[in-house]
């Protein structure tokens, strides 16, 4: 497979993966909470990667997880990336 086909196949895979995920931001009872995800437990793209489950370290301030609205600060997280 030449590089053009590889790039096209990679792009198509990324598009299909994004289309298959439910809209995480659609639930008004949830909020993004930065700095609370465990390694491999983040909810979506951040911190230089493009997919959920790719966080490399626990409690990375640039990784986020959806939590019940109003609970992020109780979990010692942040509502914006650190």
- For the chain, which residues make up each domain, given as ranges? 25-82
- C-alpha dist (Å) from residue 76 to 34, 44, 56: 9, 20, 19
Q: Which residues pair with 33 in a beta bridge?
A: 65
Is the pTM higher than 0.85? The answer reads: no
Query: Residue-wise pLDDT tens for the chain (82 aa)?
Result: 577 766 766 666 665 555 545 555 579 999 999 999 999 999 988 878 888 898 999 999 999 999 999 999 999 999 999 8
The whole-angstrom separation of Cα 33 and Cα 42 is 10
Q: Which two tokens stand for residue 1?
A: 């497979």
The DSSP-derived string for 33-45 is: EET-PPTT---S-
Query: In terms of residues, how long is the chain?
Result: 82
């Amino acid at each position: 497979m030449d590089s053009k086909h590889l790039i096209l196949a990679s792009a198509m895979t990324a598009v299909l993966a994004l289309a298959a995920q439910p809209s995480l931001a659609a639930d008004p009872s949830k909020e993004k909470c930065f700095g609370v995800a465990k390694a491999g437990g983040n909810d979506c793209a951040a911190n230089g990667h493009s997919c959920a489950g790719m966080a490399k370290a626990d409690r990375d301030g640039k990784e986020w997880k959806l939590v019940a609205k109003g609970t992020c600060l109780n979990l010692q997280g942040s509502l914006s990336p650190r």
